């Protein structure tokens, strides 16, 4: 079963395993651009829009309340993002930056531009601690948004609390769920795997669940949602830790199918390149008919879905907190317009959706503040008080939340492969309170 490292080291390593896979998929979708460490912006991008139609102009005007570019003293915000080979998460903060560029071109915040300073980190705890101190004490950021780091929450939680910051970020470090001043805009691997497990129990009536995860320190933590669903349903729950790289995909696929059985379910959580090897091997052996299959939200990436053959049509459940990239809605439409004009036309992706939405939630909150409250105290009070924020990009209104645990995104959609595309098979579905964090945030324990 592998060695388990408890605490922040284990959580950070677990997050690294999962997000390396996410980053690989993002790169495969053309979403691998990154800026230099400490990059910043205070004004609109000069990139030409893909469309100058009346519809596009109207959508972009929704970024702000003014008709002229913002000027004057900036409102300085910061972020920390992991940027290492194999785990380049900068497409998230690039998308947040793009939204702030749109805000700045359309009046800013009370006429003032947002200056967004993004610090890149390379998984060095001392470095992550140092850049947080720089942002807070040297750059004097008024707030932080878009943090997408594999170790930031584990390292800097106490620092952020002391500075009085309420952060909207991506919970790729599971320690983020345990910080009262950090709220995520994503499900993460644990809870997306849980959604797949719930579907297999409810719709496919499986009598067992097998969580298949990378063999590495701390990786068992990713299985808590799947095992919680099994326990709640009073069925067998188990886990299989798979050595990486997979050297015998045929044997691995066959072993998983045999352990699950015809009436059981397998929930896969591997790096996408390893996932593809196992799933293609399963198709060649007709194992798509031998058991029920599920995945985590990284499988929603176009590159992975396109790599699956027709034998997977309707044979796997794939969760995603966000709608399809072609979905229509006020925020979905605005995301595409902002991406085209302010993000260099970078390929649309779930990373981009995440970064855009974090920026929009944050900007919408502080744009409502009077000038006298546009300081660190006023801004962070406003962010911590966000309740019932409505967006077509998430299944339910988003709230910052209060208390020891924060699971701000607790619903998602479910898809299945269909000729290289994703087909929605179940609309917005709520997580069941089967983990300590979910029980606490849902008032179930």
Statement to judge: residues 145 and 213 lie in one domain: no
72: left (phi over 0), alpha (psi -120 to 50) or beta: left
Rounded to whole angstroms, the Cα distance separating 407 from 415 reads 22
Q: Return per-residue pLDDT of the chain as tens, 445 residues.
A: 332 323 443 444 444 444 444 444 444 443 333 334 565 655 433 333 333 333 445 689 889 988 899 998 999 999 999 998 767 889 999 999 999 999 999 999 999 999 999 999 998 999 999 999 999 999 999 999 999 998 999 999 999 999 999 999 998 887 888 899 999 999 888 899 999 999 999 999 999 999 998 887 667 777 889 999 999 999 999 999 999 889 999 999 999 999 999 999 999 988 778 889 999 999 999 999 999 999 998 888 778 888 988 999 999 999 999 998 889 999 999 999 999 999 987 888 888 999 999 999 999 999 999 999 999 999 999 999 999 999 999 999 999 988 888 889 999 999 999 999 999 999 999 999 998 889 888 875 4
Statement to judge: residues 152 and 231 lie in one domain: no
Statement to judge: residues 182 and 213 lie in one domain: no
Q: What would the two tokens of residue 402 be?
A: 């209060």
Statement to judge: residues 298 and 434 lie in one domain: yes
Q: Domain holding 221: CATH number?
A: 3.40.50.2300
Per DSSP, what are the bridge partners of residue 241?
213
Q: How many separate domains does the chain show? A: 2
Q: Is 17 in contact with 271 (CB distance < 8 Å)?
A: yes
Q: Is 393 in contact with 322 (CB distance < 8 Å)?
A: yes
Query: If we measure between CA atoms, which residue out of 150, 180, 172, 106 comes closest to residue 358?
Result: 172
Rounded to whole angstroms, the Cα distance separating 275 from 21 reads 9
Q: Is residue 404 in a domain?
A: no
Statement to judge: residues 44 and 151 lie in one domain: yes
Q: Is residue 286 in a domain?
A: yes
Q: Angle, nearest 10°, between helix axes 224-233 and 188-202?
A: 30
Give the long-range contacts of residues 368-373, CB within 8 A, separation 24 or more: 369/109, 369/110, 370/110, 371/110
Statement to judge: residues 228 and 271 lie in one domain: yes
φ and ψ at 352, to 5 degrees? -65, -40
Per DSSP bridges, beta strands 292-295 and 265-269 are parallel
Q: Is residue 151 in a domain?
A: yes
Rounded to whole angstroms, the Cα distance separating 371 from 76 reads 15
Rounded to whole angstroms, the Cα distance separating 380 from 357 reads 18
Rounded to whole angstroms, the Cα distance separating 375 from 238 reads 50
Q: Is 124 in contact with 83 (CB distance < 8 Å)?
A: no
Statement to judge: residues 139 and 236 lie in one domain: no
Q: Angle, nearest 10°, between helix axes 152-163 and 125-133?
A: 20
Statement to judge: residues 112 and 243 lie in one domain: no
Statement to judge: residues 300 and 197 lie in one domain: yes
Domain termination residue (choose one: 368, 384, 400): 384
Rounded to whole angstroms, the Cα distance separating 89 from 123 reads 12
Domain hosting residue 227, numbered range? 189-320+412-441
Rounded to whole angstroms, the Cα distance separating 316 from 267 reads 9
Q: Is 222 in contact with 269 (CB distance < 8 Å)?
A: yes
Q: Is residue 430 in a domain?
A: yes
The C-alpha angle 133, 136, 137, rounded to 5 degrees, equals: 75
Q: Is 78 in contact with 119 (CB distance < 8 Å)?
A: yes
Q: Is residue 13 in a domain?
A: no
Q: Is 282 in contact with 288 (CB distance < 8 Å)?
A: yes
- Predicted TM-score of the model (pTM): 0.82
Rounded to whole angstroms, the Cα distance separating 121 from 109 reads 29
Per DSSP, what are the bridge partners of residue 77?
116, 143
Residue tagged 């229509």 (tokens): 328
Statement to judge: residues 118 and 255 lie in one domain: no
Rounded to whole angstroms, the Cα distance separating 438 from 306 reads 33
Statement to judge: residues 256 and 273 lie in one domain: yes
Rounded to whole angstroms, the Cα distance separating 166 from 175 reads 15
């Amino acid at each position: 079963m592998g060695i388990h490292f408890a605490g922040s080291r284990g959580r950070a390593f677990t997050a690294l395993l999962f997000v390396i896979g996410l980053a690989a998929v993002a790169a495969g979708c053309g979403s691998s651009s990154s800026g230099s460490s400490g990059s910043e912006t205070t004004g609109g991008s000069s990139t030409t829009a893909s469309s100058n139609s009346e519809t596009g102009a109207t959508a972009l005007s929704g970024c702000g309340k003014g008709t002229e570019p913002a000027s004057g003293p900036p409102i300085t915000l910061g972020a920390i993002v992991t940027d290492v080979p194999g785990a380049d998460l900068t497409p998230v903060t690039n998308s947040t930056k793009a939204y702030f560029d749109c805000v700045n071109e359309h009046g800013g915040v009370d006429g003032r531009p947002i200056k967004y300073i993004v610090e890149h980190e390379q998984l060095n705890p001392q470095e992550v601690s140092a850049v947080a101190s720089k942002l807070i004490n040297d750059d004097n950021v008024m707030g932080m948004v878009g943090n997408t780091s594999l170790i930031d929450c584990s390292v800097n939680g106490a620092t952020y609390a002391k500075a009085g910051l309420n952060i909207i970020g991506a919970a790729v470090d599971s320690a983020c769920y345990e910080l009262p001043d950090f709220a995520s805009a994503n499900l993460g691997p644990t809870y997306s795997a849980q959604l797949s497990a719930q579907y297999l129990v409810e719709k496919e009536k499986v009598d067992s669940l097998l969580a298949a995860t990378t063999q590495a320190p701390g990786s068992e933590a990713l299985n808590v949602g799947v095992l919680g669903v099994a326990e709640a349903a009073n069925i067998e729950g188990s886990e299989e830790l798979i050595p990486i790289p997979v050297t015998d995909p045929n044997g691995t696929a066959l072993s998983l199918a045999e352990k699950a059985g015809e009436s059981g379910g397998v929930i896969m959580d591997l790096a996408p390149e390893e996932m593809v090897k196992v799933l293609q091997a399963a198709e060649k052996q007709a194992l798509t008919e031998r058991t029920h299959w599920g995945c985590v939200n990284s499988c929603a990436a176009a590159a992975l879905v396109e790599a699956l053959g027709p034998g997977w049509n309707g044979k796997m459940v794939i969760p995603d907190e966000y709608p399809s990239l072609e979905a229509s809605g006020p925020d979905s439409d605005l995301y595409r317009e902002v991406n085209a004009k302010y993000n260099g036309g970078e390929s649309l992706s779930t990373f981009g959706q995440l970064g855009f939405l974090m920026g929009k939630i944050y900007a919408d909150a502080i744009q409502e503040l009077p000038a006298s409250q546009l300081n660190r105290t006023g801004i962070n009070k406003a962010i911590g008080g966000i309740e019932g924020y409505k967006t077509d990009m998430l299944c339910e209104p988003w709230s910052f939340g209060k208390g020891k645990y924060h699971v701000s995104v607790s619903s998602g959609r479910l898809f299945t492969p269909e000729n290289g595309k994703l087909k929605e098979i179940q609309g917005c579905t709520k997580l069941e309170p089967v983990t300590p964090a979910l029980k606490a945030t849902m008032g179930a324990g």
